[in-house]
Structure 1
């Protein structure tokens, strides 16, 4: 029974370590750096349904 709890604790620590990986924060930062203005709407396809 102790091995089951040890395995659960190790998996939890591994998940926490993976969640704190720097590569995830870099990806979020890149998405935040994208411009929010709609100056290039002609280049983007419209998501609105046309009737």
Structure 2
């Protein structure tokens, strides 16, 4: 969510929130693929980045 313009068109982070620019949505949260990728990077102390 942009701090200057309450827009959600660009999504950053590891958690997806079901909400659109108009504020509609269930506000349900779900983990993105990047969440699991980063979880593996942490668990392997970065070894998973080496191919």
Between Structure 1 and Structure 2, the one with more strand by share is: 2
Where relative contact order (Cα < 8 A, 6+ residues apart) is larger, the structure is: 2
The structure with more radius of gyration: 1
